[in-house]
Amino acid sequence: MSKHFDQWKHDALAVDKEDLSRKHSIDDYIVNLINQINSHNDYYTSSSCSGRTIVFTSSPTVTSSTKSDCQWLYVTHEQADLQTILECLEQRPKDIDMISIKFEAFILHVICRTLECAKVLLNIALECGYRNSGLVLSNQGKITLAVRSTHALEVPIVIGSCLCVDQNYITKVVGIANEKMTANLAKIDKFSQCVTNKLST
């Protein structure tokens, strides 16, 4: 057991601590889940996302791509709006090399007091279908559980400043992203219920 856990938790959950995410707040859909985990004596959350669909710019080459190269043109944590995305692409800067549509599923990072505690929550995550979940142990003794799934999608639609697909294709991609979001939220519901039922306080 890390002797520093309680201090880490106190510092992480301090009311005046700045939220460093782009949104600067917890996504509405998972607020109750986050609060439930943070109220447990043996866990606290360090980062989370309920899932999102984004339209973003990037460099066409992996080696030159950095976070500063990426600009979000559209983002939603709910069902994506096709018309808004089409308007966004129509109004895109003409000098952008690449624009992609991307769906990212729910992800949650939880700091755990002990390895035994971490295994309990990991097993719950795996039972709920979060098969990419795993544990990371830092040199400071911090035990982090990453809850992750495989529901991902990333499709480039602008390459070399040219829109390479037609509206019908974009419509289908957005439809797939929305189907994934529906499945994603259902899986969050299942995970939240399992945490309630199986994680004793």
Q: Is the dihedral of CA 92, 95, 101, 103 positive or negative?
A: negative
Q: Domain with 136 in it: what CATH number?
A: 3.30.1960.10
The answer to whether position 201 is within a domain reads no
pLDDT tens digits, one per residue of 118-166: 999 999 999 999 999 999 999 988 999 999 998 889 999 999 889 999 9
Cα–Cα distance between 145 and 136 in angstroms, integer? Answer: 7
Range of the domain at 81: 5-196
Residue 135 lies in a domain: yes
Q: Residue 180: inside a domain, yes or no?
A: yes
Tell me how far apart the alpha carbons of residues 67 and 47 are, in angstroms, rounded to a whole number.
18
Asked, for residue 160, whether it belongs to a domain, the answer is yes
Question: What is the total count of domains within the chain?
Answer: 1
- Average per-residue pLDDT in the chain? 90
Question: Would you say residue 53 lies in a domain?
Answer: yes
Q: Is the residue at 57 inside a domain?
A: yes
Residue 129 lies in a domain: yes
Interval 11-52: pLDDT, tens: 999 866 666 556 658 999 999 999 999 999 999 999 999 999
